[in-house]
């Protein structure tokens, strides 16, 4: 079995480090918090592609793309000609939406229970009774 160090390609490691440096430079230039915003950087043939999962951030990046390009060209002595901004789907599961936070008074609960007694549809009747019992 091969040693794990034999499987690591030094050129690949350097490339990943360079991408990290570029993305850190973008975060610093835009004063972004890494915990709140996701921005990934890809460079290919003098073209910088910025990927984000936030459409509002993507709009900001599009408006500032010339300044970002100039900053990275000066900082890393690169020859970036164009910048593309792409939106990727958000990762992970969405946060669970809390149930409604409204409060029904006791009188309103009694009123809903009275309406539920007159309804023939069992599903609607049970829903109204559940709402009346839950809050009253």
Each domain of the chain, given as residue ranges in start order, spans 4-87, 106-135
Amino acid 108: pLDDT? 84
**Residue matched to tokens 């000609």:** 81
* pLDDT, position 136: 44
Supply the Cα-derived Rg of the chain in whole angstroms: 27
CATH number of the domain at 4-87, please?
3.30.300
Q: What is the pTM of this model?
A: 0.57
Residues 60-72 have a mean pLDDT of 91
Place of tokens 């890809």: 42
Query: Would you say the C-alpha torsion 91, 13, 31, 56 has a positive or negative sign?
Result: negative
In the prediction, which pLDDT does 64 show?
92
Nearest Cα to 57, choosing from 90, 96, 19, 22?
90
Residue pair 132/110 in contact by the 8 Å Cβ criterion? yes
List, in sequence order, every beta strand (DSSP E) within 4-93: 39-44, 47-52, 82-87
Between 11-25, 68-82, 85-99, the lowest mean confidence (pLDDT) is in 85-99
Under DSSP, is residue 13 helix (H, G, I), strand (E, B) or coil?
helix
Range of weakest confidence among 37-41, 87-91, 124-128: 87-91
Q: What three-state secondary structure class fits 8?
A: coil
**Mean pLDDT, rounded, of the chain:** 83
The per-residue pLDDT for range 7-62, each reduced to its tens digit, is: 677 777 888 888 889 889 999 998 988 888 888 898 888 898 999 988 999 999 99
**Which residues have CB under 8 Å from 39's CB, separation 6+?**
23, 26, 27, 32, 50, 51, 52, 57, 61
> Given this model, what pLDDT does residue 131 score?
82
* Strand-by-strand arrangement of the 39-44 sheet: 39-44, 47-52, 82-87
């Amino acid at each position: 079995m091969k040693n794990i160090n034999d499987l690591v390609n030094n050129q690949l490691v350097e490339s990943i480090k360079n991408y990290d440096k570029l993305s850190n430079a973008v975060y610093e230039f835009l004063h972004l918090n890494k915990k709140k915003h996701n921005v990934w950087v890809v460079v290919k043939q003098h073209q910088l592609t910025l990927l984000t999962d936030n459409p509002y951030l993507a709009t900001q990046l599009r408006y500032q793309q010339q300044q970002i390009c100039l900053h990275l060209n000066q900082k890393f002595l690169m020859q970036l000609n164009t910048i593309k901004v792409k939106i990727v789907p958000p990762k992970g599961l969405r946060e669970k939406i809390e149930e409604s936070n409204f409060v029904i008074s006791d009188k309103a609960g009694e009123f809903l229970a009275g309406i539920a007694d007159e309804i023939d549809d069992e599903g609607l009747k049970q829903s109204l009774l559940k709402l009346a019992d839950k809050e009253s």
